[in-house]
Structure 1
């Protein structure tokens, strides 16, 4: 069996880039940029006043002048005024263009107004560029601002807008179908027999995907019926870029999913990973980059495999620059018994040094979803048998 690192690498290497589309600013949250964004002009584009107050020539103050005649008001969004003499000043507003002939600003709290005169407080020492955000200080025209592969959040969208760009090229959202299988599953809210359980995996998967900005989602439940699986999975493959299945990939008599996927032309890349929980995971690709993640049906396994493998695979298909894996310390010694990688749920808490630390919250098994309440994610521990000591730095994956 392959290791978790090998599984992730296989998924990334087989990812097919999704097509692009141009989208306006208001729709860019969580999108992945597919073009370079370059500054259209200097930022700021002019010497910008950073405080309400008065603007004047600092050279006059250096010669001993402390009182200036207010010659007018420079408002934000207005063309620049011109200083009539070094004995004069302008009242200025935050964000305004620095008037011509002025090179410093003293805030209103540090001046005394007497009619049309403004006197500097005794402890004010004027100097060039005081309280002035000078032109081009942030970046120059033609300077790269954002690279392809950037995940667009509020700061990046503000940068695009401030560059005067109304729309950019991003990856089209992947069309994802979440499919559960199993005759034992019943929709929440419906009557349930003693031998049945409620369908929960699909809603956990959908919630995780939506939290990461994936919106083009459908879901369906299929019985353990070979003919139905063939017909419905073919239809879902025709309509979607990605299928995420939960259940039907183990070694049971009715675990038909790998067989049906092979019949539908999905070539297996790997089946089974040396990990617990989630060993039976299946991954394959088909014509045109169609991608299938077949996750084990136990709830904890489903969610952990989704976070560890499906989310990075979607990022790769969208052309996103891989984010570094978060690392935390282990809050307690923990004994790893299986000779495979262990995924251990944890609750975050600060350690003695204030660093993020993971308090182990082991489940009663891969079907024990209830034990995940209050956890923040899981850590990846090396194969056992061994005791991983408190304070060990380990990879951490958030739900």
Structure 2
């Protein structure tokens, strides 16, 4: 049995980087950038107005006051998409009516909102009256104020979110180089497992909950999972699963402990697989297995208890995937422990917990349902609180490391 830290090192050392492909940036949600992305334009790409109003010269407005209204003659109307170069250079005593997003003509250096002026007409000319001076560059958006030309937008390994797609579209990037979608095959083991959810269980049967969990966790991260069914408790079922699967990573749940029907470790050895580790000093999920098949693909044998399977995915499969996708190792954050916790072993423990706010401070509230067969508590908690091997007693108010229950590749 090895430590969790050693297991992480072995996972990352074994990882091989994925190939890349070019896709439309408009359909890049949840995909992982395979290279740094730089902006081909400044954003905004030209100086423009932040609101509907009037472009003025700052110096012209200095004499305006409540007692002495200033009049400026309107010479132009500037709409969005108009070219700033088609308009005359600003003249003293003049202004331009301007729309939100329209370019600022040369010589003007501020915009006064339309609601702060009085419109008048005299001798066929339109004027505005203002009663206070403006500040230099009031309501002007400058070129590059948001994003500079050549600025780094996204680093290699960053996962694209919906707001990122907005930014890519804003700077005109239509193609994106991303890592290819990772393919996974998922199977469960056990004579007692049933996929017939519409049928009543026979005595001794249980519904398959691990496969739906893993399939949805994988799909939510934009991987390409395939459900390969239930492997009955015989080595030929595992042999067939491996030989007929083309996916890059194979995952099974169950049959990795030391029981009579735990056939996976021996079968892998018979097939020439390299078992990189089997059994890690953690709770839950101690029997977790990680192997490299003869053809170089990876194999995870996760324990069959539902929470152990969840821990296996969250703390073993995810770190390997992060490394394959050029991501840094995940870091935890610290929270105040809401109640005292004691453990009687020297294993690293992953505790179901819930983020809570006490007296305005973020705290971790440890669930009382930590047994690895208790599924309902997964739905009522949102954190994993991590107790190190050396910590046997944590007092309420102590800091504890935590990570979100569900992994993100941001």
Within the candidate set 72, 77, 81, 1:73 is matched to 77
> 1:26 is matched with which residue?
26
Within the candidate set 330, 343, 355, 1:348 is matched to 355
Within the candidate set 169, 180, 194, 1:161 is matched to 169
CA contact (8 A) 2:89 2:105 kept: yes
CA contact (8 A) 1:277 1:366 kept: yes
> How many angstroms does 1:219 deviate by?
3.9
> 2:154 is matched with which residue?
146
Residue 92 of structure 2 is aligned to residue 86 of structure 1: yes
CA contact (8 A) 2:90 2:106 kept: no
- State the distance in 2 between where 1:359 and 1:85 align: 67
- Secondary structure of 1:345's counterpart equals strand
Within the candidate set 256, 262, 275, 1:249 is matched to 256
Distance 1:256 1:62, change over 3 A: same
> 1:263 is matched with which residue?
270
Backbone CA RMSD of aligned residues: 2.0
> 1:134 is matched with which residue?
142
CA contact (8 A) 1:176 1:240 kept: yes
Distance 1:97 1:324, change over 3 A: farther
Report how many aligned residue pairs link the two structures.
394
Question: Which deviates further from its counterpart, 357-366 or 302-311?
Answer: 357-366
Within the candidate set 292, 311, 323, 1:285 is matched to 292
- State the distance in 1 between where 2:323 and 2:361 align: 33
Within the candidate set 167, 189, 197, 1:181 is matched to 189
- State the distance in 2 between where 1:334 and 1:95 align: 57
CA contact (8 A) 2:33 2:157 kept: yes
Deviations 1:367-391 (A, max 9, x none): 2223333111321112367221122
Deviations 1:264-296 (A, max 9, x none): 343111111101110000011235641111110
Deviations 1:132-171 (A, max 9, x none): 1112223432232222111111233233222211011000
* Length-normalised TM-score, structure 1: 0.93
- Secondary structure of 1:273's counterpart equals coil
Residue 314 of structure 2 is aligned to residue 304 of structure 1: no
Runs of 5+ consecutive residues of structure 2 not aligned to the other structure: none
- Secondary structure of 1:180's counterpart equals strand
Distance 1:146 1:370, change over 3 A: closer
Please give the residue correspondences for 1:196-211 in structure 2 after superposition, counting only pairs within 5 Å. 196-211=205-220
- State the distance in 2 between where 1:10 and 1:352 align: 42
